[in-house]
A and B are shown apart, each in its own frame.
Chain A
Amino acid sequence: MGEKISLEELKKVAQLAKLQFEEGELMRFFQDVNEIVAHFEKLDQLDLRDVSPTSHISWSQPPVHADDPTEWKGEEKVFQHAPVVWNRYFVVPRVVEKEER
């Protein structure tokens, strides 16, 4: 079977998704992902020239909310689940690669 997704591409996707795999796991995913992509090839046999891509299957207007603030009072619960909190800030390992926007 010719591979559709190279090992390099798979490693890049894993890196972008911040996922780490053992070598064995990676090989297993490599095979799985290629099988899934191969399945899409079958779908490609359909003639879809006049069909626009579908990303959503509902055509109703989505719900919207009014511009009136409401207060949610559950932050304390979220703080309890955070590993480190300091002065109401969630504390994370320092990031320096990107400038503050």
Chain B
Amino acid sequence: MADFYVTIGLEVHCQLLTRTKMFCQCGTDYIGKAPNTLVCPVCMGIPGSLPVLNEKALELAIKTALAFRCEILPQVVFHRKNYFYPDLPKGYQISQYNFPVGVNGFVEFFTQGTKKRVRIKRVHVEEDAGKLIHEGLGLPPNSSGVDFNRCGIPLVEIVTEPDIHSPEEARDYLVMLRSMVRYIGASDGNMEEGSLRCDANVSVSPSPLELGTKVEVKNMNSFRSVFRALHYEIERQKRVLLEGGMVIQETRHWDEREGMTVSARGKEEAEDYRYFPDPDLLPVAIKPEDVEEIEKTLPELPLERRERFMTEYELTESEAGILTQEKDIADFFEACLREFRKPRLVCNWMLTEVLKNLNELNIDIMQSKITPGSLVELIKMVDKKEISGTIAKDILEEMFVSGGKVKEIMARKGISFITSEKELERIAREAIEKNPQSVADYLSGKEKALHFLIGQVMKMTRGQADPETVKSLLLKELSSGE
């Protein structure tokens, strides 16, 4: 079996989190809105209307470029990218060509246990197109409906150099990219809702010295579909080469249901977008002091934070990775530590119970009712053995839904304290005295008898004791009684 060298470059579009569109003041909150309600002459391409740049869109694009360690060019120029499609009312998209916002950057992330760097070719800003629907009750046959609500929303496009060499790396790059754009507040990075879109260039070569023929893969709607599509496309190209064929340079669409990429035939003669500078938009000079101001607003980025968590709190790479992927989770974790500096203990609770509850309720930590204060209160009580781990988990579940302090929930649910180990010791002794047969069985070597005794104590404490503590107390009592 011959060795193949895989080369992947990714182009990701993210919708910027502005309140208005890129060249007009229509709102951007289009999800769930009736068609063509967030529109005006500018974003519908009505002749005579003129675009005016949204400064926030430019600022967020620069912020993104800085996060990806790009050089910021001194002048931003907008170009027209010309093509005909009904979702593009002007017949061109305002985009950028030879003077994008940023060039020559890089991003680092962990993949399969090692740190990897991918070079960023460019970061530019452009406007989104409208949306088409092809089906609907009463839609005339052989026609499509156009909705311009999304048209003109600012997008930032982040283009890598061909530095990615496997679907796993591509996925880990995307996870980092999403995490970063969310950290800096540039985009919500939601691929399912279309606010993050990814196209890939894939080639396979039998030699590490030369690149294979590049195939563009489009239409991937989730991180999982990117992974599957790349995997499929790499295997397809290998097969073509092994059979002595040639890979054709083309665009292929990922078909999620069939699990394969399909040639996008009838592609207009080699895309000729006839880019030229938009005469309606003056070039914008980017002052170094403005870039500095924007740079100051960059938060600690996910990778730095992950590495700090590893050294400062002695967490493993994977623990730190999970805790820092979402800024809100990392902030919550550190807020807990400010009140209770036991990173190991808080980390364990975060990674198991907190994330489990968020997953089950399908909400973000910010949407839940839990606060760092109430989580810390709970962890402290378990730490002092005032309540058992099992009871704590029940209380935590309740805190996610209805909020409130631990003691309030305990009162509401009729849970009482096991105030001290002294109290538990007394109960353990009582269980031993009441069950001489089990004690005799245990002492004659029947392990099961110990479980019976533990069960008795748990019953007497109405499940509020920690079984591990009970076990060790019983063992202590039993050995001292010998």
Show the binding face of A for B, using Cβ within 8 Å. Answer: 12, 16, 18, 55-56, 58, 60-72, 74-75, 78-79, 84, 86-95, 97-101
Contacts and interface: CB of A to CB of B under 8 A. Distances in A.
B284 A75 contact: no
Interface string B25-52: 1111000001111011100101000001
Given A65-B20, A68-B20, A69-B27, A99 B218 contact: yes
Contact of B266 (A55, A56, A88, A97): A97
Nearest to A69: B27
Given A18-B84, A86-B139, A97-B268, A92 B146 contact: yes
A60 B84 CA distance: 32
Contacts of A56: 277, 279, 282-283
Contacts of B37: 75, 88
Given A69-B20, A75-B39, A92 B144 contact: yes
Nearest to B82: A16
Given A86-B138, A99-B218, A68 B19 contact: yes
21 contacts: A16-B272, A55-B276, A55-B279, A64-B58, A65-B53, A65-B54, A68-B25, A69-B19, A71-B27, A75-B36, A78-B44, A84-B140, A86-B140, A87-B136, A88-B34, A88-B35, A88-B147, A91-B139, A92-B145, A93-B142, A99-B253
A88 B38 CA distance: 12
B89 to A, nearest CB: 9
Nearest to A18: B84
Contacts of B54: 64-65, 67
Contact of A65 (B52, B87, B139, B144): B52
Contact of A62 (B25, B53, B218): B53
A95 B130 CA distance: 14
A87 B138 contact: yes
Interface of B: 18-20, 24-28, 34-37, 39-41, 44, 46, 52-58, 77, 82, 84-87, 129, 131-134, 136, 138-140, 142-148, 197, 218-219, 253, 264, 266-269, 272, 274, 276-277, 279, 281-285
Contacts of A94: 134, 142-144
Nearest to B199: A101
Contacts of A88: 34-37, 147
A8 to B, nearest CB: 12
A89 B25 contact: no
A90 B131 CA distance: 11
Q: Which of B129, B281, B282 has the most CB of A within 10 A?
A: B282
Contact of B53 (A64, A90, A99, A101): A64
A75 to B, nearest CB: 6
A91 B133 CA distance: 10
A88 B146 CA distance: 9
6 tightest Cβ-Cβ pairs between the two chains A and B: A89-B145, A69-B27, A55-B277, A72-B40, A62-B282, A67-B56
B19 A67 contact: yes
Contacts of B57: 67
Contact of A91 (B26, B39, B143): B143
Contact of A67 (B18, B77, B133): B18
Contact of B36 (A12, A90, A92): A90
Nearest to A72: B40
Contacts of B276: 55
B283 to A, nearest CB: 6
Contacts of A16: 82, 272, 274
B20 A60 contact: no
Contacts of A67: 18-20, 54-57
Given A18-B84, A75-B37, A91 B140 contact: yes
Q: Which of A62, A65, A95 has the most CB of B within 10 A?
A: A65
Nearest to A86: B139
Contact of A69 (B26, B41, B86, B219): B26
Contact of A95 (B56, B132, B285): B132
A84 B138 CA distance: 12
Contact of B25 (A69, A75, A95): A69
Contacts of B40: 72, 74
